Chain A
Amino acid sequence: MYNEVRVFVENKPGKLSRVVELLGNAHIDLLALDVADEGQYGVFKILTAEPDRARQVLADAGMTVAFNRVAVIEIEDKPGGLIGLANALERGGLNVTEAYGCILERGKRALFVIKGENLEAIESAASEAGLKSLESLK
Chain B
Amino acid sequence: MNWQVDVTGSRFEWMSEDELRSHQLEALKQTLAQAAKSPWYSDLFKRIDFRPEDVKSLEDITKLPFTTKEDLRLSYPDKMLAVPREEVLRMHTSSGTTGKPTAIFHTREDVDCWAELMARCLAMVGATSRDIFQNMSGYGLFTGGLGLHYGAERLGMWVIPAGPGNTTRQITLIRDFHVTVIHATPSYAMHVAERMLQEGDDPRTLGIRIAALGAEPYTEELRQKLESLYGFKAYNSYGLSEMNGPGVAFECQFQNGLHFWEDAFFVELVNPETLEPTKPGEVGELVMTTLRRKAMPLIRYRTRDLTRLIKGECPCGRKHVRLARMVGRSDDMLIIRGVNVFPSQIEEVIMRNAWLGGNYVLYLTKKESLDQLTVRVEMAKGAFDGSIQTLRERRAELQRQLREQIGFTAEVDLLEPGSLPVSEGKAKRVIDERE
The stretch of B342-350, B402-410, B414-422 that contacts the partner chain: B414-422
Total A residues in contact with B, Cβ cutoff 8 Å: 19
Contact between chains at A62 and B418 (CB < 8 Å): yes
Residue on B with the closest CB to A66? B386
Kindly identify which residue among B389, B392, B413, B416 contacts A8, using a CB–CB cutoff of 8 Å: B416
Enumerate chain B residues within 8 angstroms of A63, measured Cβ to Cβ.
416
Residues of the A chain whose Cβ atoms lie less than 8 Å from the Cβ of B391: 8, 38, 41, 43
Which chain A residue lies CB-closest to B381?
A64
With A8-B379, A8-B416, A10-B415 in contact, do A64 and B388 touch (Cβ < 8 Å)?
no
Contact check, B413 vs A10: say whether CB atoms are below 8 A apart.
yes
In the complex, A6 Cα to B412 Cα: how many Å?
22
**Contact residues in A for B413 (Cβ distance below 8 Å):** 10, 40-41
Residues of A within 8 A of B385 (CB): 66
Q: Is the CB of B417 within 8 A of A64?
A: yes
Identity of the chain B residue whose Cβ is nearest the Cβ of A10 in the assembled complex: B415
**B423 is an interface residue with CB less than 8 A from chain A:** no
8 A Cβ contacts from A5-61 to B: 6, 8-10, 36, 38, 40-41, 43
Assess whether B387 is interfacial by the CB under 8 Å rule.
yes
Q: How large is the interface on B (under 10, 10 to 19, 20 to 34, 35 or more residues)?
A: 10 to 19
- Which residues of B are found within 8 Å of A6, using beta-carbon distances? 384, 386
What number of residue pairs across chains A and B have CB atoms under 8 A from each other?
43
CB distance from B381 to the nearest CB of A (A): 8
Bound Cα distance from A60 to B388, whole angstroms: 22
In the complex, A9 Cα to B392 Cα: how many Å?
14
Q: A38-B392, A40-B413 are in contact. Are A65 and B419 (CB under 8 A)?
A: no
A125 to chain B, nearest CB (A): 22
CB distance from A3 to the nearest CB of B (A): 9
CB-based contact A64/B387 at 8 Å: no
Complex partner residue of B388 from A38, A40, A67, CB under 8 angstroms: A38
Q: How far is the CA of A65 from the CA of B384 in the complex (A)?
A: 7
Is A68's CB under 8 angstroms from B418's CB? Answer: no
A41 / chain B contacts, CB cutoff of 8 Å: 391, 413-415
A residues within 8 A CB of B418? 62
- Taken residue by residue from 218 to 248, chain B's Cβ proximity to chain A (1 for < 8 Å, 0 otherwise) reads as 0000000000000000000000000000000
Smallest beta-carbon distance A4→chain B, Å? 8
Of A36, A40, A67, A98, which one neighbours B414 at CB under 8 angstroms?
A40
Chain B residues at the A interface, C-beta cutoff of 8 Å = 379, 384-389, 391-392, 412-419
Some 14 contacts from A to B, beta carbons below 8 A apart, are A6-B386, A8-B391, A10-B419, A38-B392, A40-B412, A40-B413, A41-B414, A41-B415, A43-B388, A66-B384, A66-B386, A67-B386, A68-B387, A97-B389
